[in-house]
Amino acid sequence: MTLHEPVELVPVTELGDVHLIAVGGAGMSGVAALYADLGVRVSGSDRADSPVLQQLADRGVRVHVGHAAEQLGGADTVVVSSAIAVDNPELVEARRRGLRVWHRSAALGALVLGRRGIAVAGTAGKTTTSAMLATTLVHAGLDPSYVVGAPLQQTGTSAALGAGEHLVIEADESDGSFLQYPAEVVVVTNVEADHLDNWGTEEAYRDGFRRFVTAPGVQAVVLCADDPGAAALADRVSELGDDGPELVLYGESPLADLVLSDVVVDARSTRAHLVWRGNEEGELVVAAPGHHNALDAAAVYAVARLLGVDSATALAGLAAFAGTSRRFERVAEVGGVLVVDDYAHHPTKVRAALAAGRAAAGPGRLLVCFQPHLFTRTRDFADDFGAALALADELVLLDIYPAREEPIPGVTTALVEQASARRLGAEHVHWVPRAEVAATLAALARPGDLVMTVGAGDVTTVARELAAVLAGGEDAG
């Protein structure tokens, strides 16, 4: 995968028939759905069938399982994700025909044209924050469009076309996509080194965020004052002076425009007191455990107020948020054991997820099943993962999920195992074959425990497998 520099955008109505390769992916499916809703003739392919493909078919998308050149049909524009290999037969055929080939970020960026774009970025927290924002603006009656990285629990979809003027985007920094979006308001939740396989250096990665917050057309920048990486962007924005965007800081820092205090986390929710610009107070409540969720909600409140939503409506919208798929998702409770699934795959995300799990477990134990994601990320952050995973009482590890990468000599789950064992003790760290994971977790669990499956790969299937084992083989999903 490589970085993608922005390209010149044209309106969706000028793209002709559109074909998306890997249309079943979390990001691609949302773009396909909105294009279809706009009346564009859309087709797409993916390597395997899935419920997402059926959902797209129900919205009028012509879907194919597997990749073949003839599936392009009469497409005028072909959209690819960063995961598509250069020898994909559909991509090869598109280039042979001289068709317009766009990265997914350009296809999403074209949707912003004619709308007021709100782009939410950050190393961690962007999915939850953008989903919270979409929910809040819907509650406020603004009827926004949105494309986020996971289905909202309220709607069951990650993308919707609203009649309002706003479009909420989860802006992915991993491949430079966030630089493509012509946003009016941008949010940065935090900035910590990640995706160095693409960016090369930490400084290059951080410079991408600097470009993001100072892009032409940005009118307001909302930053987390508590995160050093995000807060450092404030200086770059301030350098633009009166010609630059409005700068808004949020967090527990007394210097923030929105100050949080008295954060309380319990098994099902997070509460905090907020003060907006020194004279507006309120009680923030979100139905998701975790200190990080209070900060994400604060970012949403700030954006809502900038858009003219009144305080009471913004707080009510946040209270209505029911979460997203794979973000501390409660999968089942069987025999007194709560099973939760979470997408966290960067050390900071893992630490935040486990801190929420620790609070939700109360007097019970926290058991964690973690699957490292990518060889490069494991190589770069193995010790940081060990520190984050030390919040668990018992840790079960899977082999690395390679995704798009080839193995790297010497880089295995053993790096995380060793880093975790130094902190937890070797007797509490279990690296087991995939086929034995559910049984291992079931043997470790006892009533009152919380079990979390954590990672961006196929570890998510373990949660329901475990629930079934705990239920004696019955379907607990």
pLDDT tens digits, one per residue of 24-33: 987 899 999 9
What pLDDT score does 359 carry?
A: 85
Is 125 marked as a binding-site residue? Answer: yes
pTM assigned to the model? 0.79
Is 136 marked as a binding-site residue? Answer: no
pLDDT tens digits, one per residue of 378-401: 999 999 999 999 999 999 999 999
What pLDDT score does 476 carry?
A: 42
Catalytic residue among 90, 93, 170, 465: 170
Is 124 marked as a binding-site residue? Answer: yes
What pLDDT score does 218 carry?
A: 96
Q: What are phi and psi of 235, to 5 degrees?
A: -65, -40
What pLDDT score does 150 carry?
A: 82
In the residue annotation, 283 being an active-site residue is answered as no
Domain range list for the chain:
13-102, 114-319, 329-470
Is 440 marked as a binding-site residue? Answer: no
pLDDT tens digits, one per residue of 300-354: 999 999 999 999 999 999 999 987 777 778 889 999 999 999 988 889 889 988 9
Return the percentage of the chain with pLDDT > 90, whole number: 75
Is 193 marked as a binding-site residue? Answer: no
Is 60 marked as a binding-site residue? Answer: no
What pLDDT score does 475 carry?
A: 41
In the residue annotation, 349 being an active-site residue is answered as no
Average pLDDT of the segment spanning 87-95: 96
Question: How many CA atoms within 13 Å lie on the side-chain side of 169?
Answer: 33
In the residue annotation, 453 being an active-site residue is answered as no
What pLDDT score does 51 carry?
A: 87
pLDDT tens digits, one per residue of 201-223: 989 999 999 999 999 999 999 99
* Rounded Cα distance, 467 and 477, in Å: 7
Residue 269 has pLDDT above 90, yes or no: no
Q: Which of 373, 60, 62, 59 is nearest to 195 (CA)?
A: 373
Q: Quick one: three-class SS letters along 215-259?
A: CCCCCEEEEECCCHHHHHHHHHHHCCHHHCCEEEEEECCCCCCEE
What pLDDT score does 473 carry?
A: 52
What pLDDT score does 129 carry?
A: 95
What pLDDT score does 309 carry?
A: 97
Amino acid at 394: E
Is 455 marked as a binding-site residue? Answer: no
Return the percentage of the chain with pLDDT > 70, whole number: 99
3-state secondary structure of 314: helix
* Rounded Cα distance, 315 and 301, in Å: 7
Residue 152 has pLDDT above 90, yes or no: no
Residue 135 has pLDDT above 60, yes or no: yes
CATH of domain 13-102: 3.40.50.720
Q: How confident is the model at residue 283 (pLDDT cuts 50, 70, 90)?
A: very high
* Rounded Cα distance, 53 and 65, in Å: 9
Residue 124 has pLDDT above 80, yes or no: yes
Average pLDDT of the segment spanning 256-272: 92
Structure tokens at 364: 């019970």
Residue 6 CA from chain centroid, whole number:
21
Catalytic residue among 77, 93, 126, 349: 126
Catalytic residue among 77, 90, 93, 127: 127
What pLDDT score does 455 carry?
A: 94
Q: If you average pLDDT over every residue of the chain, what do you get?
A: 92
> Higher pLDDT residue, 258 or 406?
258
- CATH superfamily, with its number, for domain 114-319: Mur-like, catalytic domain (3.40.1190.10)
CATH of domain 329-470: 3.90.190.20
Q: Which of 429, 444, 266, 269 is nearest to 361 (CA)?
A: 266
> Higher pLDDT residue, 202 or 156?
202
